[in-house]
Amino acid sequence: MSASVKHTHVWKVNGAAQSEQPDLLAREEPLEIRIVHGSADNRIEKKLAVTMRTPGHDLELALGFLFTEGIVGSYADVLNIRHCETVEKEEERDNVVKVELAPSTPFDPEKLDRNFYTSSSCGVCGKSSIESVSVACSYNIKNDTSVVTHQVILGLTNTVRKTQNVFEYTGGIHASGLFDLQGNLILSREDVGRHNALDKIIGASLFKNEVPLTQRILLVSGRTSFELVQKAARAGIPILAAVGAPSSLAVDLAIENNMTLIGFLKFNRFNVYCGRERVRSSEI
């Protein structure tokens, strides 16, 4: 956990009492992802993206990011993935990941640049964009017959909370948890970014060749954005639950992919925004 937190001191005010006390912060640092692509006799290296993340499980994050961006379809598309040893500054050594694509893996850097520019400049707007993202999803969730009970759903948050070591000390980090339909926790990850925590979950699953993640439940902290639904859909996850509310585009995309989307999961209540047929009050 030491790589994920930073020690500091704060001036704490509690009513009339004031004092300086030690504290812990969730660490946030940039991670640069580099791609090596091309034929065996003409390899090209490209700086692909920089994401602000909490250090830890960086290779999972990089692989999950490449998958959810549609750059790779499985771990088989990757020849090698590692922290980069060639950096300009020593402190960058643990903050750069190099991913070598297999020579047979297609990669169009110009198309990727255009997609990143569109996403950063104007976002995703309108029905046509929803449909284009749905087409890009890797697996068909429409025929997934997963069923989950109220009892299982209501137990998800407490289960993940017990694994949040960094949150326990800092109170400033998000989490994602992957469950089976009986509510057993398979995997959890923490990060300052909700999307990073999910990419780490997906990346870890890709390393184990467990994608598509059918018959699985994903829990995310905070609200549900379009981006989180998109990532979950690409990985074939049928049920997505969140502590907070979803956005309108998140609901639209979940409907397009026949996902079950749950929000405001707190204490003994939750809302089902779509895919209610997968949610039952008790076992059949």
How big is the CA angle at 212 (ends 54 and 70), to the nearest 5 degrees? Answer: 65
Rounded Cα distance between 86 and 95, Å, is: 11
Rounded Cα distance between 230 and 139, Å, is: 12
Q: 185: which 2 tokens?
A: 């926790």
Q: Is 8 exposed, middle or buried (0-12, 13-18, 19+ CB in 10 A)?
A: exposed
Rounded Cα distance between 78 and 259, Å, is: 29
125 carries an active-site annotation: no
Catalytic hit among 84, 122, 137, 274: 122
Q: 82: which 2 tokens?
A: 């590692």
Is the preceding omega at residue 212 within 30 degrees of 0, hence cis? Answer: yes
Q: Give the relative orientation of helices 126-136 and 226-234 as an angle to the nearest 10 degrees.
A: 30
Distances 207 to 54, 95, 119, 204 between C-alpha atoms, Å: 20, 20, 27, 5
DSSP 3-state of 52: strand
Torsion 160-162-163-169 (CA) sign: positive
Sequence-distant (6+) residues with CB within 8 A of 152 are 179, 181, 182, 183, 217
Rounded Cα distance between 218 and 181, Å, is: 10
User: Which residues are known catalytic residues?
Assistant: 122
